[in-house]
């Protein structure tokens, strides 16, 4: 039973990471492809963080 709990917790964490990644990619799409500000705007620090994380995940997929 403990193993099942541990596995489900790991799966939940992975799903949360994937959701955050999709959210960041969507925001990056707004910035790079459309050249319009996303709905709630971005600070330069946030833009740099989004770019860094996007590049990191992109390098993992190669």
Q: What is the pLDDT of residues 3-41, one digit of tens each?
A: 666 667 777 777 767 667 767 766 666 666 555 555 555
Number of independent structural domains in the chain? 1
Q: Tell me if 32 sits within 8 A of 61, measured CB to CB.
A: no
Task: Give this prediction's pTM.
Answer: 0.32
Would the pLDDT of 62 be above 70? no
**Alpha helices per DSSP H over 1-62:** 2-29, 44-61
What's the token pair of residue 58?
């992109």
pLDDT band for position 50 (cuts 50, 70, 90) = confident
- In this prediction, residue 30 carries a pLDDT of 61
The range of the structural domain enclosing residue 22 comes to 2-61
Q: Which of 14, 38, 41, 12 is nearest to 26 (CA)?
A: 38
């Amino acid at each position: 039973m403990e193993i099942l709990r541990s596995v489900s917790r790991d799966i939940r964490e992975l799903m949360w990471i994937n959701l955050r990644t999709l959210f960041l990619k969507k925001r990056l799409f707004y910035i790079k492809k459309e050249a319009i500000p996303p709905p709630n705007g971005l600070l330069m620090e946030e833009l740099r963080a989004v770019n860094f994380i996007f590049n990191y995940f992109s390098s993992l997929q190669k």
